[in-house]
Chain A
């Protein structure tokens, strides 16, 4: 393929399609139900990488997807593709001295982001430590399945962990298909239609932030959130990896909304804002509190800051 061709997305797509239709037919037949006359199966198969599509291609993909979701979930989804806002880089703060380990954030996240209920996927893991135990970088003594009558439990403290939205994300570095990348506003996203499910990113992530759809994700129709983003909370597929996106469907709105976990936190332990705005609350926290980030020794440079207000 010549360089000139490469710059022209439409001619490239023709080349790619015609080439692939011949060679990949046999392979595809393994996984794609035959006997279906629906062309959308093939459109889905030949769908390009999100960042390689032009506006028209994205529009037609969104249209097809909305129909697929409507057929499958009997719900009308509105799939947004809102891009990053200029002059914005998102950062997150978590006040460990306030967290009571109630896990409301974890459940609000599941609801907002259409995670699979069966099998269960949670993007937020809340770790419980006994006071005086090893922690910060060593989690061996942490308990993530604590289940008392009431929290906080005497003699314990809590540390929620989710995607740290690293500036040097190891998961992006290792992905063999570029199916995951860091957006301009600092959010690490996944194209669920490009991910091949090799799970190399899960091996690379030091924070256990990436989750795989081991089975077909199932969500009760009543619990679906139809306000979705292509790179965020749209329902996922069997066999792909997913992760926290700082609620991209909320935070990229103008005016933006807080991520669901920030909104729900009953003790105000969660802070969120624009790192590039000197007046933002997150900047205030970083400049006035003693903050730390998880596993600093790995140099992943998270945009997720833990601190103590008391």
Chain B
């Protein structure tokens, strides 16, 4: 009998661990809960009255939700891709990178799914997209592909994290012979979620701004900047609040790698910028709208130049050993990159697909209060989910939290 009750007991132990914390911890949870509440209220309003509460219209039919979704796919992919350099450069904290990266990937994918569901006009019919019980349009629709790869990626990362934490929580070492195949699978899969999401836009010949072959490479390059930058910040917080050890050397090496990926990102941007502006065909219009304004409409111009400035500054900070090995400038550059890529790959990618629209109209879009509320709620939920997950995973990892496979529980 005690065997059957054990999981319940373990759950209680876990909950106790999650509930313990200082006043900063509780403050953080309360802060996030407030925004989650705002998100829930906003979403209920949207369900009740319809998407008319958003600023989206027929001319700009995707907006802030899909922008956030796109950015987060990048985060999900890049966190895991860090494993490659970690392995090649023989970093000490490779296991930490794998674990934290996968937990971040799980969080980001869940947020992606929440953003997509928020964007549906009929969320209760979401099951129509599933195979067998629905009528999934596979392989024709890239959105069907995206459902498959995103959920597959979620499953892979859940498996890996579950396996590691399960073994460790029982006080056993996990076997790399089991973990490696999962990691090896997750790396190309991470690239695939990003490529498929890029293809989702890329395949539409009706939207010249997206219908450029450079889209998928630019996607990957920018994701390889923002994802690792976010990881660098997380590493520093984690090593401060837990016993997990992450060496400075590893952090600086990742910063150096970001300099290269940002260099590539800027180069691809320059290639696109040159092609559009020099050839100056009618397909220039969306780019013109983004960077200089079109027929007096220029809502995104300031943001795009800001993003460019942020990315360029961060590139130089990470390029110079002196500045990337100083924690103040390092963290500043991380924040600049995350913001820069968020603008560039969020609104800066989605909105110009619709401006001007296919019949030449310019409808300037900016998210409504409801869209901001829902999005804020999802971001807060993601942060809460990640915090609680780490609150459980870190003690398991460092050996502070242990379960027994049978019999009574034991902590510390």
Binding site for B on A (CB under 8 A): 1, 16, 19-20, 24, 27-28, 30-32, 45, 49, 52, 119, 125, 127, 134, 137-142, 144, 161, 170, 173-179, 194-200, 202-208, 210-216, 237-241, 298-299
Contact = CB atoms under 8 A, between A and B. Distances in A.
Interface string B96-133: 00000000000000000000100111111111110011
B334 interface: no
Given A49-B135, A202-B61, A142 B360 contact: yes
Nearest to A121: B58
A140 B282 contact: yes
B56 A177 contact: no
Contacts of B178: none
Contact of B51 (A16, A204, A214): A214
Contacts, number: 169
Given A140-B282, A202-B61, A176 B359 contact: no
- Most central of B56, B129, B357 by chain A CB within 10 Å: B129
A214 B359 contact: no
Interface residues of B, number: 54
B50 to A, nearest CB: 5
20 contacts: A30-B47, A30-B123, A139-B361, A140-B282, A140-B356, A170-B206, A174-B140, A174-B203, A176-B143, A177-B125, A177-B134, A195-B122, A196-B123, A203-B201, A203-B353, A210-B58, A212-B58, A214-B54, A214-B56, A239-B122
Interface in B312-340: none
Contacts of B204: 170, 174, 203-204
Contacts of B398: none
Contacts of A197: 51, 120-122, 125
Interface string B259-289: 0000000000000000000000010010000
A238 B141 contact: no
Contacts of B51: 197, 212, 214-215, 239
A199 B57 CA distance: 11
B141 A194 contact: no
Contacts of A140: 282, 285, 295, 356, 360
A1 B131 CA distance: 12
Of the candidates B51, B285, B358, the one having the most CB atoms from chain A within 10 angstroms of its own CB is B358
B50 A216 contact: yes
Contacts of B353: 203
Q: Identify the 7 closest CB pairs spanning chains A and B, nearest first.
A: A197-B121, A239-B121, A139-B360, A215-B52, A206-B206, A31-B124, A176-B143
A189 to B, nearest CB: 15
